[in-house]
């Protein structure tokens, strides 16, 4: 490549850094039995890392890492794959009604764009609760200064298919408790709700407060297929936000299922090795892309680009005279 071309390449990479990368993405991904066995499959881990590092905050479900080795390995690969950001994770205790089957909720997040400010494990022994959940929500609160919402709470839930109606309705109790406890209305509920295909009967929908509360907005379109298998078409995974402020902070039409099979050119069999679910995601509006990273402001960055462009144009002009 000629020197002039190299200069142009470096310049446009710099411009891209100033203007691009401003999306703030929140994701929820059921990893389908993630543990030691899956962590030993290099091709699977490579795809998981690519998916998770697309997100500023990513909820992982069905983490069944009983020996405590698979999750640290995943985090290590994430950090090595994307060194531009500082990744951290916070995990619930192992949850489940039996010792033989337990899961963890895990939030992987970019510490340079989201700051964990609080966490709360919803109890399973509240008066009158009658142990509503198989896997009680592990609630977290983040500060994200560059987003329009600034601070928000995430309530995850992976419902038990045979108890979907009860658990989805009980999530409303969690919502009310968290809003009162932390004095906030900026709450997002997300995860594998199993809210379709026989697990949530139409006749039961009127009994689910998470569906009837008019202050809640279900962002993933109802006809979205969040399953990998071509033989199924079910909208299991969802993202729900509470209140007008959070709704306004969402980029319109950005909520979707991420089809990693198509994105990464996988066969159905290869995709199913990764998970039988697609992750769901949504973008939050960004007001100041540099607010939490300690980098230059947009104005100073643009000034730098202007000065750099003037230098490059002059250099290119001199270069053409000497060629």
Give catalytic residues, as residue numbers.
Answer: 103, 158
- Strand residues in 73-196 grouped as ranges (E): 87-91, 95-98, 101-110, 115-121, 138-144, 150-156, 187-192
DSSP 197-258: TTSS-GGGGGG-HHHH-TTEEE-S-TT---B--TT-----EEEEEEHHHHHHHBPTT--EE-
The token pair that represents 43 in the structure block:
């091709």
C-beta separation of 26 from 188 below 8 A: yes
C-beta separation of 117 from 141 below 8 A: yes
- Residue 80: CB atoms within 10 Å: 9
C-beta separation of 164 from 171 below 8 A: no
- Residue 269: CB atoms within 10 Å: 7
Phi first, then psi: what are they for 117, rounded to 5°?
A: -110, -15
């Amino acid at each position: 490549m000629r020197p002039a071309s190299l200069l142009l390449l470096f310049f446009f990479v710099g411009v891209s850094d100033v203007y691009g990368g401003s999306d703030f993405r929140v994701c929820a991904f059921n990893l389908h039995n993630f543990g030691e066995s899956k962590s030993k499959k290099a091709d699977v881990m490579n795809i998981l890392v690519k998916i998770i590092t697309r997100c500023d905050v990513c909820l992982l479900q069905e983490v069944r890492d009983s020996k405590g080795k698979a999750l640290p390995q995943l985090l290590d690969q994430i950090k090595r794959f994307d060194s531009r950001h500082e990744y951290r994770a916070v995990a619930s205790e192992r949850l489940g009604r039996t010792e033989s089957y337990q899961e963890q909720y895990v939030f992987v997040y970019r510490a340079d764009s989201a700051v964990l400010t609080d966490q709360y494990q919803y109890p399973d022994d509240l008066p009158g609760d009658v142990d509503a959940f198989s896997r009680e929500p592990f609630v977290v609160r983040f500060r994200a200064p560059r987003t329009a919402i600034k601070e928000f709470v995430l309530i995850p839930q992976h419902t038990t298919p045979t108890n979907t109606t009860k658990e989805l309705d009980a999530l409303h109790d969690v919502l009310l408790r968290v809003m009162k406890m932390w004095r906030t209305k900026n709450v997002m509920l997300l995860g594998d709700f199993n809210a379709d295909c026989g697990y949530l009967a139409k006749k039961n929908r009127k009994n689910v407060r998470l569906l009837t509360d008019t202050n809640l907005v279900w962002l993933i379109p109802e006809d979205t297929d969040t399953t990998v298998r071509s033989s199924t078409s079910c909208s299991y995974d969802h993202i729900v936000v509470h209140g007008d402020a959070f709704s306004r902070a969402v980029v319109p039409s950005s909520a979707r299922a991420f089809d990693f099979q198509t994105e990464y050119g996988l066969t159905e069999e290869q995709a199913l090795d990764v998970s039988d679910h697609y992750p769901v995601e949504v973008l939050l509006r960004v007001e100041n892309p540099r607010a939490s990273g300690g980098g230059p402001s947009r104005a100073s960055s643009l000034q730098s680009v202007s000065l750099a462009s003037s230098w490059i144009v002059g250099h290119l002009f001199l270069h053409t005279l000497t060629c």
